[in-house]
Chain A
């Protein structure tokens, strides 16, 4: 008989672990819907985690850390936009270069800022969860859905908000047009460059916030490899979600769930090496990609650099 407490714990962890995936993937959705594959997402997450932690640690204000992370994310988005949109560099390569640079720099910044005090790993008191009155008392569901971090609630709001923006507003229409047929969008008077710049800034900010969540809400520390390649999972999740925000939530929950199951299996003490479970999300993502590859309809202009005639 499986323990109710265990199940609740796993489900609750699922929602928690899904949070950074939601932020990163929604951000990436915006960027790809506008036609830019942002492989810099892993780097942006790392920089967000690092900056968020450092600012949170030195200022004592975690929210300031989140804000700083978002700002760094915007800056990185601008750099990515400059490279792919203004310079027209190959999107894969620009993203990878940015990730490699940020990967190193995030840890470098950390080491330079924090003098190692004996063997004590600097840490902050992570964000506390915020239980919603009354709703969080509901058995099981209460703890799972209504006793989460503030960022998780915001993340949940982010999903329908993005869907609304993408599919119901003029801005979203213009955004999608830019990703499908930039020439047509330009002729219609839309500033393709501006739109892509904006979407990359959004992607950067959201990814960085996702990273900040990892250091400020999940672990309270910054370590190299903190992101565990989650940025890459987000890239795959966008395809899996067919570039649609609501599906993103589904995918994030699915993978958060696998993560949560894997963590709890570790504590249960199964004999199977836990790395196999760490591997599971990636294997499943690949399987999901294969499954959806026939169905998936990428924005038609994804990966193409758009050049103004002039």
Chain B
């Protein structure tokens, strides 16, 4: 008796949709183990998770608050991954965007919102874009692996931000490692009374729409798909591979930058050293779980938001350490990889 692995001729459509769902369920099942080890009934824990994420209107708005930066990071990474630019640096790009945007936002007290907010957003975008540009150029011109450069770039940027916020730009009022408060005119307006549901959430969804249009309807999206599918063949067919990769990286970084400035303008109102609890890395998980597709990314982002928000609630209710959220994210990704395998291959038992 032995296991035989056979490649499927056509990847199974049904399984392609089922895979992320089944993987998530499998991950939740596996994650029940650590919950149990923590002395909590997993079923009770998960109920608290769901209640804390979508149980009532306030919880739901909070979930959307987390959804926004996750969605933006997910899109950022998915866009880059589409042309096989492995942008693991969304975290650093997020911080850079937040930083550059805040530099304007803190001092824009006399600029009316109608101008200040768009300008701040553009600067946030540019900040993130810049931090993705140099790894892209290094990759294209010198063939330096972008996985390592974008990864290390995260650390450089977070330290740089810390150096600035502990140093010259420390909040003179509170003495904490955060920037002075941003101007009221640059705050994202709250859209639902009594909650923290802010403009940034709508912006994130618009960016998702833009991502959809880019991938499915534009020349550029066509070219990116080609480059990701086979760079050599795309080049031979006349596509300007270098330019498109750099462009994709820049846009990707910019979107991550929007996530950063969104957190500043919508939630924190200061530039902070702990602006993001790893949204950039979660973005990678989201991009993969969402199979790099616009709809998939939206769904996966919402799933992750539920998990992040829900585990906080679960923590408050049961005492399960909140580090579980990160663990579950990782396990979902790993289960998904296993699930992906089954969409491409058939496993049979054979008599020998």
Contact = CB atoms under 8 A, between A and B. Distances in A.
Interface of A: 37, 39, 43, 79, 83, 87-90, 92-94, 96-105, 107-109, 111-112, 224, 229, 232-233, 235-236, 239, 273, 275-276, 278-279, 282-283, 285-286, 289-290, 293-294, 310
Given A236-B152, A310-B4, 15 more contacts: A43-B330, A83-B338, A93-B284, A93-B337, A97-B288, A101-B326, A101-B330, A236-B148, A273-B163, A275-B166, A276-B163, A282-B153, A282-B159, A286-B149, A289-B149
Nearest to A95: B147
A290 B329 CA distance: 33
Interface string B322-351: 011111111101100110110000000000
A97 B334 contact: yes
| 9 tightest A-B CB contacts, nearest first | A101-B330, A104-B326, A97-B333, A104-B327, A100-B330, A275-B163, A111-B321, A89-B337, A273-B163
A289 B153 contact: no
Given A88-B341, A92-B86, A294-B142, A97 B285 contact: yes
Contact of A290 (B142, B324, B325): B142
A3 B91 CA distance: 41
A238 to B, nearest CB: 9
Interface string B154-176: 01100110110011000000000
Contacts of A278: 159
A232 B151 contact: yes
Interface residues of B, number: 48
Nearest to B37: A112
A217 to B, nearest CB: 23
A235 B288 contact: no
A286 to B, nearest CB: 5
Contacts of B142: 290, 293-294
A249 B151 CA distance: 22
Given A107-B323, A112-B34, A96 B333 contact: yes
B144 interface: yes
A104 to B, nearest CB: 3
Determine the main DSSP class of B at the interface with A.
helix
Contact of A289 (B148, B167, B321, B333): B148
A39 B329 CA distance: 16
B333 A93 contact: yes
B34 A100 contact: no
B38 interface: yes
Contacts of B338: 83, 87, 89
B18 interface: no
A39 B162 CA distance: 26
Contacts of A283: 156
B326 to A, nearest CB: 3
A105 B333 contact: no
Contact of B156 (A88, A94, A282, A289): A282
B155 A229 contact: yes
Contacts of B86: 92
**Which of B151, B167, B285, B329 has the most CB atoms of chain A within a 10 A radius of its CB?**
B151
A27 B120 CA distance: 45
B329 A293 contact: no
A275 B159 CA distance: 5
A223 B340 CA distance: 35
A96 to B, nearest CB: 6
B327 A275 contact: no
B341 A100 contact: no
A239 B330 contact: no
Contact of B321 (A79, A89, A107, A286): A107
Contact of A103 (B4, B160, B330): B330
B61 to A, nearest CB: 25
B143 interface: yes
Contacts of B144: 289-290, 293
Contacts of B324: 104, 108
